[in-house]
């Protein structure tokens, strides 16, 4: 602990003696005198610029999101851009931000540091969804981009996601190279904070219109929408950036009966009506579901603060609203899209779908039926974008997604997009209504045809200085001593994405996993169950994903089969001693 204390004091004193504002210095002195624990958490390390950028609690210190850590990160990114694109007449970058506290200020600092480094900046005039930032990078021919957001994290957090010239987040070698450049920035004096206003161009509604016009081209059933334009939809942006863009997009598609949850329609980084601004959590949709029940709506949608992920609630066969998980929404969405592509004569044999390795295998079954090629990639839409980049001259990407409520349709945006997803989910609901069905009915149809896939997720949080070490030990334990049996079913395959080895336990053979190395471990059981474990790259936790499957022969058996699958996951969790 003495080594930590020594490093904390060294870092804190460097800031006190450095060229920072008086308010920040006073905050440091206050921590020194009254809150040594907070001082330690704020200064025991540098806020890591990871492969996706920055994310952390806002405040003063080397381990906090503030104007200085944002400035240093931007200077490192600018230095790398100048190394790669030094022969360009003008390097360009786009910048967007969400509704979180300090997001406009952090975005402005980013713009000023870029422009001080002779980089042309396209800065949105107000908060915008992350996917629109991806679109803007491509539209304006930028070499990079930044969106200031902490996605669905609690209100104390903010973040900074870096993008490359195709509108996707950084992948090798650029991610590691940018990290190296950021680490070289060891002093505030290395950062050019004095911006050049002539290099900062404010963009706004003209970009919105271009983006939304492209989204409208995704529609596959305009005639069905005309017939069912008035299906009642309740939407909540959860105090985030979707408040304008999602309703606008829905109206562009032709939907006329959109009910906004007014109490959550005002952007607010304190998220006053929410326990968490995360559409994966049931509490986030409570207010919207109450409105839907009161007003007779049939579909509820909620987007996270930067509007790249969407959670939905639909009525089950008893007329009660239930939440669909990310895998279920992906299944309904892609099932609809694949069927319409087939019916519209658009399948030529060169189409493909992409999912992540922790996402339901059901999506592969759906794609196989319609003759659509499939790819499995690591978690993160940057890997989906990488496949699109490699195939864009020879094949057509239809859609893809991941279990954590992120979906992408078409290839003009290279990150998950809740704006287009909301519109296409509403279109799927209209298509279901044209058959006298609901989205839940479509889900049951899928289970009857392909099997009842059921998933679960547990996140084990390990905060503080020791958290990363504890998470590392958990992974190390499962790697070095993998279980032979889980829930009375043999482990028949182990995939270790860190060693890039897939081991068939039954015959002892090993094959190479042809994906970038990643700290992910998967166990496949004899009964068809799949267990994945992955430390989060942005939060102090490790996630365990569970996928089980059974046959569903009759809709009347749905609840019994679901109950048995839930119990199977519970037994698996008990067997892993989580």
Active-site positions read: 151
Instruction: Count Cα neighbours of 453 within 13 Å in the Cβ-side half-sphere.
Output: 26
Backbone angles phi, psi at 478, to 5 degrees: -70, -30
Please list, in sequence order, all residues whose beta carbon lies within 8 angstroms of the beta carbon of residue 428, skipping any fewer than 6 positions away. 332, 333, 336, 439, 442
- Report H helices in 319-417: 326-343, 362-369, 381-391
The whole-angstrom distance between residue 310's C-alpha and the CA centroid of its chain comes to: 10
Distance CA 176, CA 366 (A): 36
Backbone angles phi, psi at 330, to 5 degrees: -60, -40
> Which pair of structure tokens corresponds to residue 280?
């994966």
For residue 402, what are the β-bridge partners?
Answer: 406
The whole-angstrom distance between residue 411's C-alpha and the CA centroid of its chain comes to: 17
> Which pair of structure tokens corresponds to residue 230?
């008035």
User: Is the bond preceding 25 in cis, omega lying within 30 degrees of 0?
Assistant: no
Element (H, E) at 112: helix 103-116
- Report H helices in 140-199: 174-183
CA-based angle 182:27:17, to the nearest 5? 60
**22 burial via Cβ count (<10 Å: 0-12, 13-18, 19+):** exposed
Please list, in sequence order, all residues whose beta carbon lies within 8 angstroms of the beta carbon of residue 272, skipping any fewer than 6 positions away. 239
Backbone angles phi, psi at 263, to 5 degrees: -65, -20
Does residue 400 contact residue 384 with C-beta atoms inside 8 Å?
A: yes
Distance CA 408, CA 405 (A): 10
DSSP tag of 113:
H
Distance CA 375, CA 47 (A): 34
Q: Which of 301, 313, 277, 323 is nearest to 151 (CA)?
A: 277
DSSP tag of 65:
B
> Which pair of structure tokens corresponds to residue 436?
């006298």
CA dihedral angle for residue 304, residue 306, residue 307, residue 309, rounded to 10 degrees: -60
> What Å distances lie between residue 314 and 413, 511, 572, CA to CA?
27, 42, 28
């Amino acid at each position: 602990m003495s080594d930590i204390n020594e490093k904390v004091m060294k870092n804190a004193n460097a800031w006190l003696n450095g060229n920072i504002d008086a308010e920040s210095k006073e905050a440091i002195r206050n921590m020194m005198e009254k809150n040594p624990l907070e001082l330690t958490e704020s200064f025991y390390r540098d806020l890591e610029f990871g492969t996706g950028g920055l994310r952390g609690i806002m405040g003063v210190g080397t381990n906090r999101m503030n104007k200085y850590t944002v400035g240093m990160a931007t200077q490192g990114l600018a230095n790398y851009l100048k190394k790669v694109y030094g022969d360009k007449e003008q390097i360009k970058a786009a910048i967007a931000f969400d509704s979180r506290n300090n997001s406009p200020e952090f975005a402005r600092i980013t713009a000023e540091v870029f422009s001080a480094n002779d980089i042309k900046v396209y800065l949105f005039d107000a908060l915008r969804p992350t996917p629109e930032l991806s679109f803007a990078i491509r539209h304006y021919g930028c070499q990079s981009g930044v969106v200031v957001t902490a996605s669905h994290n609690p209100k104390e957090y903010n973040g900074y996601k870096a993008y490359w010239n195709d509108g996707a987040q950084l992948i090798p070698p650029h991610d590691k190279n940018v990290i190296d450049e950021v680490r070289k920035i060891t002093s505030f004096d290395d950062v050019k904070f004095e911006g050049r206003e002539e290099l900062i161009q404010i963009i706004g509604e003209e970009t919105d219109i271009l983006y939304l016009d492209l989204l409208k081209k995704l529609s596959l059933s305009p005639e069905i929408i005309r017939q069912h334009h008035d299906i009642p939809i309740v939407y909540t942006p959860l105090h985030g950036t979707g408040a304008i863009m999602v309703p606008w997009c829905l109206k562009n598609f032709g939907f006329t009966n959109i009910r906004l949850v007014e109490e959550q329609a005002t952007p607010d980084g304190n998220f006053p009506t929410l326990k968490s601004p995360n559409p994966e959590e049931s509490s986030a949709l409570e207010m919207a579901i109450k409105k839907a029940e009161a007003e007779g709506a049939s579909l509820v949608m909620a987007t996270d603060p930067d509007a790249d992920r969407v959670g939905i609630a639909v009525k089950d066969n008893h007329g009660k609203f239930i939440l669909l998980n990310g895998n279920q929404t992906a299944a309904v969405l892609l099932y609809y899209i694949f069927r319409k592509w087939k019916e519209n004569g658009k399948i030529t044999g060169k189409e493909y779908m992409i999912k992540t390795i922790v996402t339901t295998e059901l999506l592969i079954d759906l794609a196989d039926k319609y003759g659509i090629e499939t790819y499995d990639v690591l978690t993160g839409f940057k890997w989906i974008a990488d496949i699109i980049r490699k195939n864009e001259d020879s094949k057509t990407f239809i859609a893809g997604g991941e279990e954590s409520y992120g979906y992408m349709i078409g290839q003009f945006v290279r990150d998950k997009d809740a704006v287009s997803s909301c519109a296409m989910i509403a279109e799927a609901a209209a298509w279901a209504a044209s058959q006298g069905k609901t989205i839940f009915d479509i889900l049951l149809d899928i289970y009857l045809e392909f099997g009842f896939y059921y998933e679960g997720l547990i996140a084990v949080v390990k905060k503080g200085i020791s958290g990363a070490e504890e998470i590392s030990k958990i992974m190390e334990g499962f790697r070095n001593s993998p279980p032979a049996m889980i829930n009375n079913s043999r482990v028949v395959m182990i995939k270790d994405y860190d060693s890039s080895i897939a081991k068939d336990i039954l015959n002892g053979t090993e094959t190479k996993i042809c994906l970038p190395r990643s700290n992910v471990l998967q166990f496949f059981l004899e009964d068809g169950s799949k267990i994945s474990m992955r430390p989060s790259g942005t939060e102090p936790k490790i996630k365990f994903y569970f996928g089980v499957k059974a046959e569903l022969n009759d809709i009347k058996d749905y609840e019994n089969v679901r109950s048995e699958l839930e119990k199977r996951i519970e037994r698996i969790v008990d067997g892993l001693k989580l």
